[in-house]
């Protein structure tokens, strides 16, 4: 069974996001050993300068890098990443698990991820050209992981 780590910048506060995540985490237990790691989002002022934002992203990057499991294939979620269909994501996960025993998905905070974290990527993945709140992205990633593992295992979830 593959180990999957989901590193997220920021804490879930809203119950509806927590409930949705909990449901997919429970379902994923049949397919992988999942660990969700929350990295605190660095404080920024009300109108941070570009330099302040970059400094905050750099501090978050150091925390993210410490949380990435050794030997894991890193998949970062970022707007400039590749868009994949659910079957394509399943195929990519299938390929990666042929070479890696650990996968690590990384979701940044409201300002995204630093270039140094993106540089670790085996795959840069985009959910859509649209912008989503990073907390909703967590739910979406968990759902797509469940869908991908269901596809790979011949499950009936994916239609």
pLDDT tens-digit map of 106-144 = 999 989 999 999 999 999 999 998 888 889 999 999 999
Q: What stretch of H or E contains 9?
A: strand 2-9
Q: pTM (2 decimals)? A: 0.94
Tell the residue number behind the tokens 């070479």, with chain if given: 99
96, burial (CB in 10 Å: exposed 0-12, middle 13-18, buried 19+): middle
- Crossing angle of helices 15-28/134-152, nearest 10°? 20
- At 77-91, the pLDDT tens digits run 999 999 999 999 999
Domains and CATH numbers, the chain: 2-44+52-152 (3.40.1280.10)
> Are the C-beta atoms of 86 and 117 separated by less than 8 Å?
no
């Amino acid at each position: 069974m593959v180990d999957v780590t989901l590193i997220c910048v920021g804490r879930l506060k809203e119950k509806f996001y927590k409930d949705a995540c909990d449901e997919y985490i429970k379902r994923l237990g049949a397919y992988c050993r999942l660990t969700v790691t929350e990295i605190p989002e660095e404080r920024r002022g009300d109108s941070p300068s570009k330099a302040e934002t970059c400094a905050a992203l750099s501090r978050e990057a150091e925390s993210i890098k410490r949380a990435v499991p050794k030997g894991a294939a890193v998949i970062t979620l970022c707007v400039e990443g590749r868009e994949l269909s659910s079957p394509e994501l399943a195929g990519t996960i299938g390929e990666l698990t042929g070479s890696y025993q650990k996968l690590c998905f990384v979701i940044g905070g409201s300002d995204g991820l630093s270039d140094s974290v993106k540089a670790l990527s085996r795959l840069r993945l985009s959910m859509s050209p649209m912008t989503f709140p990073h907390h909703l992205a967590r739910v979406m990633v968990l759902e797509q992981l469940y869908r991908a593992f269901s596809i790979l295992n011949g499950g009936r979830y994916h239609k």
